[in-house]
Structure 1
Amino acid sequence: MIWVAVVVASVGCYLLKLAGMSLPASVLERPDVRRVALLLPVAMLSALVAVELFDGGGVLGVDPWLLAGVGAAVVALLLRQSFIVVIVVAAATTAVLRALT
């Protein structure tokens, strides 16, 4: 049964990607579409961090290593680094702190 879910999710992801690639250029050049495309990675990262901060019971499970990684990401954002640099800095900070403790 789990394989059915995996296949359905895979096909759905492929079709979603195909739908985005088959849009005409006139749609992609609209200012609203460009603004959403620029802000979408930040919104997705924020949602992932918010989900990670809470445990299964809805209780705030503060992980000091995760908070340190988020803090390092904020510093990288203030220094105007690219999105991939922010992700790498946050992940590396969290990983190093977890490895040291």
Structure 2
Amino acid sequence: MFGLFKSVPSTTTNQLESELTNKPMILDVRMPGEYRQGHIPGSKNFPLNKIEQYKGKTDEKLYLICQSGMRSKRAATALQKKGFDVVNVRGGMSQWSGTVRGGKI
């Protein structure tokens, strides 16, 4: 019964930055306009309002990021229920200090 309420694992932006050499799958769940203004190189834009349609590999760890960590946590919860291995990035792009492609954050 309590398995239904499994908490979503999380990581910091610094920890994610140290993982970049392993080319992790990063889903940026912000809206396309926000994503174009600046995103982590190699991340894929998949807005929260379409997350139920995501069809990736369930055996691949997904790092979810947004602007502050709230939308990505909601996306992570939804994907976790569908069997995905997810990690929410706490603080989101507002805490990201690494390389950014696109505009400025």
TM-score > 0.5 by shorter chain: no
Q: Which of the two has greater strand per residue? A: 2
TM-score, with normalisation over the residues of structure 2?
0.23
Bigger Rg, structure 1 or 2: 1
Q: Which of the two has greater helix per residue? A: 1
